[in-house]
Structure 1
Amino acid sequence: MQRQAAYRNCMMLLALLGTAATGFTAPAFAQADTAPLSDVKFDVTAEYNSNVARSDAARAAARGLSRSDQRITPGLTVDLARNLGQTRVWLNGSAGYDFYRRNSQLNRERIGLEGGIKQPIGPCRVDITAGISRRQSDLGDIAFVNNSPSFAVKNAETRQEYQGDITCGREYGLRPTGDVGYVIARNSNLIRDRAEYDELEYQGGLSYSTPNFGDLTAYAGRRDIDLLNQPTAGGGEVSYHITTIGARYRRDIGSRLDAQFSIGRSAIRGGGALVPNNSGLTWDVEVTAQFGPRLQVTASTGRQFVNSLSSDAAYLRTQPNLVQLTYAVNDRMRLQASYLNERRSYRYATPQVGTFIDRETRQLGGGGFTYDFGRRWQIGLSGGYERRNANGTFFDYDGAFARATLSLSL
């Protein structure tokens, strides 16, 4: 099958990069990340949510759910890195388990782990990463199915990601770049298998960097997406690709301002009548500013074509806008506040019947603080409010949450 061949090719390339990384040791760049890291934390989070079901009371009851609930999540967070000669190996992420007081059917592991190696090879540097994430699906995206709404509730989303990057040349000046990646996205619930997909991505570019100018990269890339279980007349897979040509730029302006952005033109092709051709501008912008010694403000916006395990759509067009503020009251206490406004539109490969999401706007605002008790203990308190307006009223909801976290550095 096409996706199996693509997967084999991607794995072969990553294996070749890894073999080369163990056979050559010539330095290419002055490594900034040379210090070892050993940050391991055990934490317990308690949360109250007024609308775990992400729906009104009647639809929550039909799903066999209580709207309000309390959740306890013990977990472990790691951030580890070591240098083995000129090779740097690292691992970061977290793993925990959600325990709900009322909705025990939502009890589920919550995993997000990523690790990799960085290795100079002659005039180049190779980065190889692998990661996995697994969690319970957002209930706001799961609709009634075949008059068995409760059957659709339990679903674990799992994503495996593999990535290989290479950059050649000196630290400053012109540098060619390339990367290849593969994503395997699966759902545990049989009635959610139409959202499963495989994705192969490859990209090449040319970067120019100087201390005063910053870093500018022109790139061209392609993503091949296979929707594995979409119903079609011929019984085959739904496949299409997204090509993007663009540029990205990053500049640190002293210690007070960091700006990075990318802009390109993306075109969706190859899906035939099931996934009609589409194109448009895509971008990501993020600016972080430091106001005095205590206040930091980050603002970001973007527009992208993405895939999701929570929907049967062939792809989504997302436009998130985020503002975050952090204020250091003193060396131990920090205040945080944030606001997110995200618009999404859904494009389906097959005609939809019944209830489905066509478009939505989500708003999420909140704030809190963290306090360090010495070098090992930390407590955090936060809360917020979320509201979604989707097409019609079926997927509309709002809810509030409050959260407390106690962390111990091991």
Structure 2
Amino acid sequence: MMGITASTRAAASLAGLAMLGTGTTAAAQARREPETAISLSLDVRHDSNVARSNAASASARNLSRADQRATPAINVVVSRPLGRNMLSLNASAGYDFYRRNKRFNRERLSLGSAANVLAGPLTVDLAATLSRSQSDPGDLAPLLIPGANSLRNRSTVQDYSGSVRLGSSPYGLKPMASFGYSQGNNSNELRRISNYRSTRYGGGVSYDGPALGSFTAQYLRTDSEYPDRPATFSQTGFSSDRIELTARRELGSVLTGSAGISWISLKPDIAGSDPSLSTVGWNVALTAVPRPDLQITGAFARDVSPSLGTDALYQVGNTYSLDATYQFVREQALTIRGSINDRRFVGAGRFFGLPLTDSVQRFVSASWSFNQGRPLGAAIDVGYQDRDGNGTFFDYSSVYVGIRTTYRI
């Protein structure tokens, strides 16, 4: 499966690096230890519907819905404390080989890095993430132009962020400033109209304390544009103002949580048919370890962002995920995952044909891993996903089964 496996794991690891960049500095440094892990992996799977469409739509695009994919990859995890500073890197490089739909053959890259640097009275947190792969057809609005090969598309998403806090003590109230830049690019010429650029900046205050945890309150301004959209489009960008409050705390050895809430006011660059938006954004992440052999993680969020897969002005997304891992014995574990991705695409037009305005994607998977901790390990994966869109044309379902092997160097 193109979307739920490697991309989901990469997103989780990159999110962890980003959290290191903005979380509690003293607590993060106290817990992190030097680490270097290098592994080789091979993921082989059968997917019943790689086209993410019904049979008629796949046939019109000369696609085989059922296909097999092999992805060899190298994975690197490094973290290094340098005095009071911390550097982290999480990277993966692989290549997808499809047996039937060879047009989907493409590199699969992910990179996450974070740095926490103490410079005199300043604490500087930096984070950078990058992901590149063949776009999952389920994330692309179908392009209904005869003969157009619009599904062969490399999507590349980059994000760079940082914050600066003033104060020599690891604890207490500190003024802070935040900044960031992100961009998304499509390789397919017809889809470059969705390439975006976003800059964000703002400031506020942060608080770190051993008893209460970590808090931030700040204002953020984000300016987003689609530089490759022609003049015929009514909108080429939007701006948003956000006031947000975030918190992170460990509640003993059993529960760790972070949460944030924000008020978002969004306006298109040009007043017109695409509406402005005022809404509440939020995110909650909880990890519970009720017993040594069981870990449960939940993540829930609502946010507004540019859309790389459609011609919409922006998307409003609600995501919900729940994971549970049970360690049967020392070397075997079962992980069950479920998620819902509910998106509304505002300002979607008819450049691609039928406009995709609403999408609800559901994922559920199970993974049994064994030989954990040994140089050679393996896992068996099974999963199911489907989508309900605004019209049956966008609906699909898919089942996959695969095996992953990992060799730790």
Q: Shorter chain as normaliser: what TM range? A: 0.7 to 0.9
Give the secondary-structure state (helix, strand or coil) at the position aligned to 2:56: helix
In 1, the alpha carbon distance for the partners of 2:301 and 2:112 equals 24
1:161 CA drift (Å): 2.3
Q: Structure 1 stretches of 5 or more lacking a match?
A: 1-27
Contact 2:348 2:355 in 1 (8 A): no
What's the counterpart of residue 312 of structure 1? 311
Contact 2:154 2:187 in 1 (8 A): yes
What's the counterpart of residue 144 of structure 2? 145
1:273 CA drift (Å): 2.5
1:270 CA drift (Å): 4.6
1:66 CA drift (Å): 0.3
Contact 2:180 2:201 in 1 (8 A): yes
In 2, the alpha carbon distance for the partners of 1:374 and 1:286 equals 27
Contact 2:311 2:349 in 1 (8 A): no
- 1:76 pairs with 74, 77, 91, which one? 74
Query: Are residues 136 and 117 of structure 1, via their aligned partners in 2, closer, same or farther at CA, if it must alter by over 3 Å?
Result: same
Q: Highest CA radius of gyration, 1 or 2?
A: 1
What's the counterpart of residue 297 of structure 2? 298
- 1:245 pairs with 240, 243, 255, which one? 243
Query: Are residues 268 and 209 of structure 1, via their aligned partners in 2, closer, same or farther at CA, if it must alter by over 3 Å?
Result: same
Matched, 1:393 2:392: yes
What's the counterpart of residue 94 of structure 1? 92
What's the counterpart of residue 156 of structure 2? 158
In 1, the alpha carbon distance for the partners of 2:393 and 2:161 equals 38
In 2, the alpha carbon distance for the partners of 1:332 and 1:281 equals 44
What's the counterpart of residue 50 of structure 2? 52
Give the secondary-structure state (helix, strand or coil) at the position aligned to 2:392: coil
1:168 CA drift (Å): 2.9
Residues 164-183 of structure 1 correspond to what in structure 2 (within 5 A)? 164-169=162-167, 170-183=169-182
For 1:250, the aligned partner's letter is R
In 2, the alpha carbon distance for the partners of 1:306 and 1:157 equals 16
Give the secondary-structure state (helix, strand or coil) at the position aligned to 1:329: strand
Give the secondary-structure state (helix, strand or coil) at the position aligned to 1:157: strand
Contact 1:303 1:317 in 2 (8 A): yes
Normalization by structure 2: what TM-score?
0.88
In 2, the alpha carbon distance for the partners of 1:63 and 1:286 equals 40
- 1:41 pairs with 27, 39, 42, which one? 39
Contact 2:218 2:244 in 1 (8 A): yes
Contact 1:271 1:277 in 2 (8 A): no
What's the counterpart of residue 32 of structure 1? 30
Normalization by structure 1: what TM-score?
0.87
In 2, the alpha carbon distance for the partners of 1:142 and 1:105 equals 18
What's the counterpart of residue 127 of structure 2? 129
Decide which moves more: 306-315 or 398-407.
Answer: 306-315
For 1:56, the aligned partner's letter is N
What is the Cα-based RMSD across aligned positions, in Å? Answer: 2.1
What's the counterpart of residue 11 of structure 2? none
1:349 CA drift (Å): 6.7
Contact 1:29 1:125 in 2 (8 A): no
1:131 CA drift (Å): 3.2
Contact 1:36 1:83 in 2 (8 A): yes
1:180 CA drift (Å): 1.1
In 1, the alpha carbon distance for the partners of 2:151 and 2:165 equals 44
In 2, the alpha carbon distance for the partners of 1:337 and 1:54 equals 23
Query: Are residues 259 and 374 of structure 1, via their aligned partners in 2, closer, same or farther at CA, if it must alter by over 3 Å?
Result: closer
For 2:38, the aligned partner's letter is V
Give the share of equivalent positions with the same residue, in percent: 33
